[in-house]
Amino acid sequence: MLAKSVPEIPRPDRVTGGLSYEPKWDGFRALVAWDGREVVIGSRGSKPLTRYFPELVDAFARLLPEPCLLDGEIVVAVGEPGAWRLDWSALSQRIHPAASRVALLSETTPAMFIAFDLLARGRRDLQSAPFAERRAELVDLLAEVPAPVHVTRTTPDADAATRWLAEFEGAGLDGVVAKPLSAPYAPGKRAMFKIKHARTADVVAVGYRVHKSGEGVGSLLVGLYGSDGELHNVGGVSAWSDARRRELIDELAPLVERDEDGSAVRGETDRSRFSSASDVSFVRLRPERVLEVRYDQLEGSRFRHTVQFERWRPDRDPRSCTYAQLESVTAYDLGAVLD
């Protein structure tokens, strides 16, 4: 079951009916199946996650009171008591091919599971039940279950959800989700609403990847200047029409860096643990063109998600595109979100 983006916290109306609001956790979406003998953890992208989180497999087998199918999020938190926050980088490192590394990370950066829906309990399939009933069953099922298994908090108050949107980002959360209380579980359908932070920044075009079809620009890589005076890769922009992809090849051609023999200079970005076989090479561009993008949040020194193109900024000096323009977020203790 998925969520569609909306620009602001929705209010109950004739279309949505009653709504339940909850924090949007920034982790790995996971379906946890426990049949009383075996734990299986699946991901939204159909990638099996069971082997990467042995500490959660052990916890589910010990702590879950009866067979069930849970929908939720796997997260990793770091920091000191009172200054705890989610850490996407630490979570992403948990996906490792070496069993010895997986075992080590399960001890040094243990994960938590945040449950937010219950699809089955015992022999009962709950997917056709309204969310209000599934939520009540979830709370009842996990009422006595301790960490690292948690039930996400909810509120029926749109004003409280608005405060959460502002405050919980400081703990590393991703926004707010609104769920119709009367809705059944709808796999693959965008039946929920997600509200994420939307900000803009001026960034420098530093390169592009060719589209997987072999024609046009697939994604445009962008950068910001740091306090060290160096240009740092901060993410990518994609989602153009096929016609626009081909146009961009011609528009960016004058900026392509070339060797003495005239061939385009290529570079490589870091390889993702989820797509280790993917081509990470890109065509380098001279850092002369500025564009404005929409983004939701930073993870370290990079944009957490793919950013969205707003417009070209021919009036901006590339050197003026620094991290200083980005909005800082007030810290918030993750422990207060879990309570």
Residues 243, 251: Cα–Cα separation, whole Å: 13
CB atoms within 10 A of CB 109: 17
Q: Which helix (H) or strand (E) segment is 293 a member of? A: strand 290-295
pLDDT of residue 275: 47
- Domains of the chain, CATH where assigned: 2-196 (3.30.470.30), 199-325 (2.40.50.140)
pLDDT of residue 269: 65
* C-alpha 319 chain-centroid distance: 29
pLDDT of residue 277: 46
pTM higher than 0.95: no
- Tell me the three state secondary structure of residue 264: strand
pLDDT of residue 239: 81
pLDDT of residue 181: 96
pLDDT of residue 300: 80
- At 66-75, the pLDDT tens digits run 999 999 999 9
Residue 194 bears catalytic tag: no
- At 243-265, the pLDDT tens digits run 999 999 999 999 999 998 888 88
* C-alpha 241 chain-centroid distance: 24
Residues 6+ apart with CB under 8 A from 37: none
Say if CB 269 and CB 280 are below 8 A apart.
yes
Residue type, 179: K
Q: Which of 24, 179, 194, 196 is catalytic?
A: 24
pLDDT of residue 276: 46
Residues 15, 166: Cα–Cα separation, whole Å: 26
pLDDT of residue 125: 98
Which parts of the chain register pLDDT below 50?
271-277
pLDDT of residue 197: 80
pLDDT of residue 329: 83
pLDDT of residue 16: 66
b/e per residue 84-93 (b: at least 16 CB within 10 A): bbbbbebbbe
Encoding tokens for residue 120? 């089955």
